[in-house]
Structure 1
Amino acid sequence: MDGLKVSDANLVVYIHPSKANRVRQALRGELSSLLFKYNEVFDGVVLVYDILAQSKSAKILPGLSPYFGVNVKAKLLLFSPKPDMLLEGKVMKLRKESIHVIVLGFSYATIAEEDIRGEFTYKTVRLS
């Protein structure tokens, strides 16, 4: 489907020292914080991640609370629509001033009246 892409990412994830004995769990927590939010680095919304590999060593960062960085290779599924790209969605509500749809089964979108193409018209039908 247009707008979806798989990306191989080489990341450095910074982990608090209190989570040093549960690194894998901490990595999942940090990567989960990226889900369903637009990320400029990836130019899209991260939908799914899969950790492929992590380094066995870490680099300690100096500071008041010395976090340590772990190198991670991950595969990401990104939702990255571009202008003028066609997307399919299920219409949930029609109004004269807007159309409400669900895209990809999870993302809610509203198309405002000024963005609705001219060939679509609105007609009120009264049921008696």
Structure 2
Amino acid sequence: MEGLKECVANLVVYLHPSKAKCPNEAILTELSSMLFTYNETFEGVVLAYDPGNCSNLAKILPGIHPYFGVKLTARILLFNPKPDMLLEGEVVKITPHSIHAVVLGFSAAVIADEDIRGEFKYKSKHGKEVYVSKSHKKHKIKVGTILRFVVKSFDEEILHLSGSLLADHSGCARWLDKNSDKWSQADRF
């Protein structure tokens, strides 16, 4: 899936003097506070970290509460989707005017009616809502489907995605993987 990247970061973590006895625990707490929030320095949402080398030396900062800074190197996994990237998410809700999905278990994605290609028709039978392809009856999008879509925009503040199903290589990921010859031929014409 696009939008994920790993980076190595050289960080300085500032700790309160009361944390001097167990700095490793305090460092992990500080790193954990960055999880699932957009970080402008790294230009992405921090999903995971692996604290690497930690310096044995700390620099005491002057002030009322003299914090000390500890240098460390950490590997960080980031999520930063850009427009036109291809992402996958699990469909959680379908309405006549939109499809709602969750990406990586934390980021909400919405595909509005105008971003769903005309090939898909909304149907509701026995209380179950589904989008079905007019040209390929087995290509269905329903709750629980892994949906492959193109990113239109990403709101970094609330971690919300806006997507599109206008491209031929978007839709139900399972169907697309099984029938790649059918949708790739449509791209050629």
Q: TM-score, normalised by structure 1?
A: 0.89
Deviation at 1:102, TM superposition (A): 1.5
Deviation at 1:115, TM superposition (A): 5.8
Deviation at 1:109, TM superposition (A): 1.3
Task: Confirm or deny: 8 A CA contact 2:103 2:109 kept in the other structure.
Answer: no
Task: Confirm or deny: 8 A CA contact 1:98 1:110 kept in the other structure.
Answer: no
Task: Confirm or deny: 8 A CA contact 2:52 2:75 kept in the other structure.
Answer: yes
Secondary structure of the corresponding residue to residue 99 of structure 1: strand
Q: TM-score, normalised by structure 2?
A: 0.62
Aligned to 1:108: 107
Aligned to 1:123: 122
Query: Could you list the runs of 5+ residues in structure 1 that have no partner in the other structure?
Result: none
What's the C-alpha RMSD, in Å, of the aligned pairs? 1.9
Aligned to 2:34: 34
Distance 1:48-1:121 versus aligned 2 partners, 3 A rule:
same
Aligned to 1:90: 90
Task: Confirm or deny: 8 A CA contact 2:2 2:85 kept in the other structure.
Answer: yes
Secondary structure of the corresponding residue to residue 125 of structure 1: strand
Query: Could you list the runs of 5+ residues in structure 2 that have no partner in the other structure?
Result: 128-189
Distance 1:90-1:120 versus aligned 2 partners, 3 A rule:
farther
Return the index of the structure with the highest Cα Rg: 2
Task: Confirm or deny: 8 A CA contact 2:8 2:74 kept in the other structure.
Answer: yes
Aligned-residue identity in percent: 51
1:53-72 alignment, distance < 5 Å: 53-72=53-72
Q: Look up the equivalent residue of 2:112 and give its one-letter code.
A: E
Q: Look up the equivalent residue of 1:87 and give its one-letter code.
A: L
